[in-house]
Amino acid sequence: MNEKTAFYCWGDKEVEFHRCNSCGCLTHYITTQKCPENILAINMRMAESEVLCGIPVRKINGAAY
């Protein structure tokens, strides 16, 4: 595989869920053109806590999509 991630969509196809081709962990998701909002979400659960300090977080209602 040359690609670093693979993605899948389900349901209404408004979101692409990207996963690492090496370990399979979800890395991020992005909305598609079918979604009225432009959203990029990054899985920061795999990041070091020092990296997270000072990063502003905007919570979204994922159930609304």
CB 43, CB 25: distance < 8 Å: yes
Determine the residue type at 22. S
Question: Does the reported pTM lie above 0.85?
Answer: no
Can you tell me the mean pLDDT for 44-53? 86
Can you tell me the mean pLDDT for 19-30? 94
Count Cα neighbours of 52 within 13 Å in the Cβ-side half-sphere.
9
Nearest CA to 64 out of 35, 32, 40 is that of 35
Q: Which pLDDT score, from 0 to 100, does residue 49 have?
A: 86
